[in-house]
Amino acid sequence: MSRRVHVLLAVLWSAAVVAALSAQAASPPDARIDDLIASMSVEEKLGQLQQLAGGAEGNYLPEQAELARKGLLGSVLNVRGAERVNTLQRMAMESRLKIPILFAFDVIHGYRTVFPIPLGESASWDPAAAERSAAIAAREAGAVGLKWTFAPMVDIARDPRWGRISEGAGEDTFLGIAFARARVRGFQGDDISRPDRVAACTKHFVGYGAAEGGRDYNTTDISEQVLREVYLPPFKAGIDAGAVTVMSAFNDLNGVPTSANPFTLTTILRGEWKFDGVVVSDYESVSQLVNHRIAAGDADAARQALTAGVDMEMVSRTYVTHGAELLKRGAWTMAQVDEAVRRILRLKTRLGLFERPYADPALEKTTLLTPEHARAAREIAARSMVLLKNEPGVLPLSKDTRSIAVIGPLGDDPVNMMGNWIGDGRKEDVVTLVAGLKAAAPAAHVTFAKGCDITGTSREGFDEAVRVARAADVVVLAIGEGEIMSGEAASRATLDLPGGQLDLVKAVVGAGRPVVAVLFNGRPLAIGDLVDAVPSVVEAWFPGTQGGAAISDVLFGDVNPGGKLPATFPRAVGQVPIYYNHKSSGRPAAPDNRYTSKYVDMPVTPLFPFGFGLSYTSFTVTDLQLSASTIRRDGQLRASVALRNTGPRAGDEVVQLYIQDVASSVTRPVRELRGFERVSLAPGASRRVEFLLTPAQLGFHNRDMQFVVEPGAFKVWVGTSSVGGLEGSFTVTE
Ligand code: BGC
């Protein structure tokens, strides 16, 4: 055969293969799903709608094996490990209809390699870092047989008392959108059927972060305006990025709990957004409709949840218990049940579970905590740190420092370094601060004194701490919260350093050595006294497996800190809620007028504003240029500034753009983030940083809930935090 014939045959053959494949892609999944549904009993259908919890250690329970064998178990959470997953899966695959089980777990900031808590990671203002960590988390999770993570949490949180602020991207919607997208992309990639990808789940739909009093699970009352402007957009962004599942939340929203709310679950999610993936309830949030007193009993709870749009019930069993009876009396229709089953089977198809239901045990052995993953954890943790204060000459530390005293309850504490929701993170994998410093400065003498417990009030350890401090050249304080103080069911009514830690700080400062405070915490803290007492403060959040190494990188200046706060730090808990994008009020706070919106006992300004963070070098932002002074309402505008590193070291600055709609038909925030970029510059180097403002960033929901750009004046600021910046203005015309 000639070469030409070869080529022709090859072309014809591949065309035939492509045609066959695309025919397969177009028809079988849905046809197979319809066939399956047609052959399922009511019991089998209800089984698909049920998710049960295995043991926290990762094993399934005997009852779950029994259900799997009968083909009555749609999904389990917590069961993990290739062998365990495969054993249970085999039972399902040998059942009558051979529908695979979907294995789920909370892989929130890493599986075995633990990354910084999401709030910390968001302080990097580097969505690519979050995408990278989510991709690694997915790879490790996939290797132990998981196909679904309950992440990302995209709840906006304006109240640091709420412990779950640690699980999200903080207080701002624009930043939250960027991180929602990045995390979904990281978990799912382009093809969720690959063994190194998992289905993402944007949660908790919706408004959960607005719990009254910052108390977890509490009621929320959010106007539709604020819902559409603040709380919904990160969910929309996650779904637009491909998220195939959504979790309905625990909270009551404006009188209708979110796990039974047809407005959010059907009108918005399915109707406006055309979401065709799966909605899973939160843990027992369906049966909790009875506690909300919107359902008269479990059957009524099931009726309302499915009807509102919850496809799969997590852990409570109202669907499987009452479904048949609800169908019989017409409270559910078979079409409703079939639709929920269809969505779940479609998800399983998209995940490739029918073709590849089993995990590869060999992969499990080679994928977890690889050196590459550890390196990423270290880099991302270092990128997440925020330098809150640094008097000249303290940081970075010299590697020639002869002796370093680490003092405080978190100095050599592997468990708390990881934060909460640690997947299968293990304390033996963790580099503590003491270990990190020893490795980074082998010639230095590193000593440690705990001083006190995290929440304890005993001063017994203070004398030793002071003695250890006196004997050192420099003191690194390791203070803050325990991991258990943030996350779910970890709301706080106070925001200061817990226990007697501030007293320990004062005692150690009295020893007269240079002091650096490293903070570990899952939320903004009201730490004015600490900041006054010490010359340097590094916010390390809960930094994960490589925490101590990453902190050492920052303390010694191998990494110049460039993170920025993703949430406002208040002066006192009484200022809460305090967030940068608040409204103006009719009487904005004015220093010389008592009758303005402020406190008699404290300034209205925060301790540290949103977007704030220092560096070991210095930057200037100059020469704000706008591409036009007038644009049409459908037009766009470019804004640019010159950024220069004017200091002695290479470093990163996060350039931030804020806008204000000067007068509008509904009141608008004093300023809103509409652009940011983290830029690295060598000493002396400069770069122009440019942002594009489009109608999507200039508009808002008007009184009729239409998204509009209104003609009129706009202000714009470009700077390095939510306060100040270079100011410009432009006008939008019809
Ligand atoms: C939490 C969810 C989590 C679920 C499963 C619930 O208590 O609110 O965020 O995904 O448990 O563990």
- Residue 2's pLDDT band, with cuts at 50, 70 and 90, is very low
- CA dist list (Å): 87 to 174, 197, 488, 584: 44, 21, 31, 60
pTM here? Answer: 0.95
Peptide bond into 279 cis (omega under 30): no
How high is the pLDDT of residue 328?
A: 98
The Cα 580–Cα 157 span in angstroms is: 12
Residue nearest to atom 4 of ligand 1 (CA): 283
- Residue 31's pLDDT band, with cuts at 50, 70 and 90, is confident
The Cα 584–Cα 563 span in angstroms is: 28
Q: Is the pLDDT reported for residue 730 higher than 60?
A: yes
Q: Is the pLDDT reported for residue 12 higher than 90?
A: no
Three-state secondary-structure class, residue 688: strand
Alpha helices, H only, 599-714: 695-698
Give the H/E segment covering residue 52: strand 50-53
Q: What is the pLDDT of residues 636-678, one digit of tens each?
A: 999 999 999 999 999 999 999 999 999 999 999 999 999 999 9
Give yes or no for residue 187 CB within 6 A of ligand 1.
Answer: no
Q: What percent of the chain has pLDDT over 70?
A: 96
Residue nearest to atom 11 of ligand 1 (CA): 283
Q: What is the pLDDT of residues 79-118, one digit of tens each?
A: 999 999 999 999 999 999 999 999 999 999 999 999 999 9
Query: How large is the average pLDDT for residues 266-288?
Result: 98
Q: What is the pLDDT of residues 453-492, one digit of tens each?
A: 999 999 999 999 999 999 999 999 999 999 999 999 999 9
Query: How large is the average pLDDT for residues 68-74?
Result: 98
How high is the pLDDT of residue 29?
A: 65
Token pair 């803050």 in the structure block, residue: 480
Residues 126, 159, 282, 300: which is the catalytic one?
282
**Do the beta carbons of residue 650 and residue 560 sit within 8 Å?**
yes
Q: Which residues pair with 257 in a beta bridge?
A: 252
Q: Is the pLDDT reported for residue 15 higher than 60?
A: no
User: Is residue 652 flagged as an active site residue?
Assistant: no
Structure tokens at 191: 């093809």
How high is the pLDDT of residue 7?
A: 37
- Residue 10's pLDDT band, with cuts at 50, 70 and 90, is very low
Handedness of CA 596, 599, 600, 603 (dihedral sign): negative
Give yes or no for residue 488 CB within 6 A of ligand 1.
Answer: yes
- Residue 393's pLDDT band, with cuts at 50, 70 and 90, is confident
pLDDT averaged over every residue in the chain: 95
Q: What is the pLDDT of residues 544-587, one digit of tens each?
A: 999 999 999 999 999 999 999 999 999 999 999 999 999 999 99
The Cα 153–Cα 163 span in angstroms is: 13
Q: For residue 732, report the distance from its CA to the centre of ligand 1, in Å.
A: 44
How high is the pLDDT of residue 572?
A: 98
The Cα 257–Cα 211 span in angstroms is: 12
**Do the beta carbons of residue 444 and residue 402 sit within 8 Å?**
yes
Residue nearest to atom 8 of ligand 1 (CA): 282
How high is the pLDDT of residue 5?
A: 37
Q: What is the number of residues in the chain? A: 734
How high is the pLDDT of residue 14?
A: 39
Three-state secondary-structure class, residue 304: helix
DSSP 153: B
- Residue 32's pLDDT band, with cuts at 50, 70 and 90, is confident
Structure tokens at 119: 């709030």
Nearest atom (ligand 1) to Cα of 151: 10
Structure tokens at 441: 């400065």
269 backbone φψ class: left, alpha, beta (φ>0; ψ -120 to 50):
alpha
Residue nearest to atom 10 of ligand 1 (CA): 150
